[in-house]
Structure 1
Amino acid sequence: MTTAADSSDRVPRIRLPRERRGQQLLDVAERLFADHGFNDTSMEEVARAAGVTRTVVYGHYATKDAIFIACLRRARADLEHRLSELIQANGQMFMGEAFERVIEVFFQILEQDPGRWAMLYSTGPGLSEDVVNHVTTLRFDTVNGIADVIGHCVTEMEPDRINAYAHAVSGVTEQLGNWWLANPAASRGRVVALCRDFIMDGFSPWTDSRRGHESPSEPHSAASTHIAFSNAAGEPGPGRAVDRVGEL
Structure 2
Amino acid sequence: MLDVAEHLFADRGFKDTSMEDVARAAGVTRTVVYGHFATKEAIFIACVHRARSDLEHRLRELVRAGNQVLMSEAFEQVADVFFQILETDPGRWAMLYSTGPGLSEDVVNHVATLRLDTVNRVADVIGHCVTEMEPDRINAYAHAVSGVTEQLGNWWLANPAASRGRVVALCRDFIMDGFSPWTDSNRGPESLSESHSAANTHVAFSNAADEAGPRRAVDRVREL
Return the TM-score normalized by structure 1: 0.82
5+ residue gaps, structure 2, are none
In the other structure, the counterpart of 1:175 is 151
For residue 34 of structure 1, give the secondary structure of its aligned residue in structure 2. Answer: helix
CA drift of 1:237 comes to 4.0
1:101 counterpart residue number: 77
Q: Structure 1's 154 and 46: CA in aligned 2 closer, same or farther, altered over 3 A?
A: same
SS at match of 1:27: helix
Greater relative contact order structure (CA < 8 Å, 6+ sep): 2
1:229 aligns with 2:209: yes
Pick closer, same or farther for the CA change 1:122–1:87 going to 2, 3 Å. Answer: same
Q: 2:182 matched to which residue of 1? A: 206
Is residue 131 of structure 1 aligned with residue 131 of structure 2? Answer: no
**What RMSD over aligned residues (CA atoms) do the two structures have, in Å?**
2.0
- For structure 1, the residue ranges without an aligned partner over 5 or more in a row are 1-24
State how far apart, in whole Å, the 2-side matches of 1:213 and 1:91 are.
31
Q: Which has the larger radius of gyration?
A: 1
State how 1:48-197 maps to structure 2 within 5 Å. Answer: 48-90=24-66, 93-197=69-173
CA contact (8 A) 2:156 2:162 kept: yes
Which amino acid in the other structure matches residue 101 of structure 1? Q
Q: Deviations over 1:1-31 (max 9, x none)?
A: xxxxxxxxxxxxxxxxxxxxxxxx1011000
Distance in structure 1 (CA, Å) of the matches to 2:89 and 2:9 = 13
Give % identity. 75
Given that 2:177 and 2:192 are in contact with CA atoms closer than 8 Å, whether structure 1 keeps it comes out as no
**Residues 43 and 216 from structure 1, CA distance in 2 versus in 1: closer, same or farther, beyond 3 angstroms?**
farther
In 2, the alpha carbon distance for the partners of 1:242 and 1:71 equals: 20
Match for residue 242 of structure 1?
220
Q: Distance in 2 between matches of 1:241 and 1:46?
A: 24
Query: Is residue 114–residue 238 contact of structure 1 (8 Å, CA) maintained in 2?
Result: no
Q: Give the secondary structure class of the aligned counterpart of 1:90.
A: coil
Answer yes or no: is the 8 Å Cα contact 1:82–1:105 preserved in 2.
yes
TM-score, normalised to structure 2's length?
0.91
SS, match of residue 224 in structure 1: coil
Report the Cα distance in structure 1 between the residues aligned to 2:215 and 2:29, rounded to whole angstroms: 37
